[in-house]
Amino acid sequence: MRSIRKMGGELCLFAAALFGPSLVAAEPATVPAAGRQEQLQQQLDELQRRLDIVTEELRTMKEEVAVPGEPPLASQHGLGPGASKVYAKKHGVSIGGYGEFNYKESLSTGDDTYDFVRLVLYTGYKFTDRILFNSEIEFEHASTGSNDDNGEVSVEQAYMDFLLAEQANVRAGLVLVPMGFLNELHEPPFYHGNDRPSVERQIIPSTWRANGVGLFGQLAPGLRYRTYAVTSLRASRFSSANIRDGRQNGNRDRAQDFSWVGRLDYSPTPGLDLGASTYLGNQGQGDDLTVGAVTEEVDAFMGMYEGHVQWHYCGLELRALGVYVHLDDTEELSANAAEAIGEEMWGAYAELAYNVLPLVVSRSDQYLAPWFRYSRFNTQEDVPSGFVADDAQDREDIEVGLTYKPIPQVVIKTEYRYLEAEEGSRPDEYRLGAGFVF
């Protein structure tokens, strides 16, 4: 909405348009009659021009009051563009969200499904220029009824920011752990495929959130960081397949153990992003483990180390990520779980895409990109003595697909997934779906 000062200026312009020519016309005649008639016509033309300006300004003001404009979506502080809307507000409430749904065909089992995977609502409030609240509430699999599998409503993040300076700002609450590409920025139009990359689900347990407090900011042009102290995972829930079940999700988190996570991202030139993150801390959380006939607690210190790079250039997109995990006390954890818990885990993937639409339709705002992703990961790279590694967890994914965006906020995706493991079989998949963000 226009400011009062601006509106006052426009009213002055309106008054000048109405009365200015009359005042000039009232001056004593000092020119011949023909000259006065020409002068009067010029004044009338000027009056009409000014009235046209005022009419256009009033029309614009009316439209802006009826439908306030919104700034374009843009990522800030590592979050997705939709999740960043509150930062663009001057004050008050911000609302955004995203959703995605897809059809999955398991080609060898016939276990086909059509799932509204998630519907997410972002709500935020800008109290002042320096204090804000932001949140993400997720509805998974469309329903939470007692007969529905995995349906739930969760608070994915809910935190307060205290914006002190460009170099250092404070964040506290339920935060997304800043590891990898997709744990923080997971809105459907901004990654390829209907399913998130396996490495960022099995090794980095996205979506991974925890209660905590920390700092974020920009240390130099293009150099950004985030660092938090967060409640640790619960190692007693780890399995041979992954560490996902160890997530606490903010629901009365066990807080006997905290971990430190830090991340650096650097953009030396537009289109190129380099980054790394580290997560360190005990994951035992005081849980009792049953080891033979003995009950005991362990520290279960874990280190997770991740590096990533992405490059966008003239329609070409390259992305790569690698992650390594080392976990202590796996002998006790394995005995408690009655299966091998990996002492070492690792994963990596590389992705290539190219927006071909400008080659066919020049100056098009739409997007059409074929893409390819290769992933390799193993949660059983090394297991404690006395246990045998489960080779079914030494896995390889080959994915090829197509991503189409009629507008930047809406995406249609399709892909074929060729899935392999060192032992056992994994059914190949075909997926077709869509997503949106606002």
In 3-state terms, the chain is what percent helix, strand and coil (to 5)?
20, 45, 35
Lowest mean per-residue pLDDT among 26-35, 272-281, 291-300, 390-399: 26-35
Residue recorded with tokens 């802006």: 64
User: Which CA distances in Å does 200 have to 69, 176, 236?
Assistant: 36, 14, 21
Q: What is the pLDDT of residues 216-249, one digit of tens each?
A: 999 999 999 999 999 999 999 999 999 999 999 9
Q: What is the pLDDT of residues 71-104, one digit of tens each?
A: 678 999 989 999 999 999 999 999 999 999 999 9
* Residue-averaged pLDDT of the chain: 89
- pLDDT at residue 267 is higher than 90: yes
Structure tokens at 146: 């007692």
Long-range own/partner contacts, residues 403-408 (CB < 8 A, 24 or more apart): 403/192, 403/353, 403/367, 403/368, 403/369, 403/371, 404/366, 404/367, 404/368, 404/369, 405/189, 405/366, 405/367, 405/368, 406/366, 407/365, 407/366, 408/73, 408/189, 408/365, 408/367
CB-neighbour burial class of residue 251 (10 A; exposed 0-12, middle 13-18, buried 19+) = exposed
Q: What is the pLDDT of residues 55-64, one digit of tens each?
A: 776 665 655 4
Q: Is 102 helix (H, G, I), strand (E, B) or coil?
A: strand
- pLDDT at residue 255 is higher than 80: yes
Q: What DSSP element (H or E) covers 15?
A: helix 4-25
Neighbours of 400 (CB within 10 A): 15
| Euclidean distance between CA atoms 314 and 355, whole angstroms | 8
Q: What is the pLDDT of residues 305-332, one digit of tens each?
A: 999 999 999 999 999 999 999 999 999 9
- pLDDT at residue 8 is higher than 70: no
Q: Is 56 helix (H, G, I), strand (E, B) or coil?
A: helix
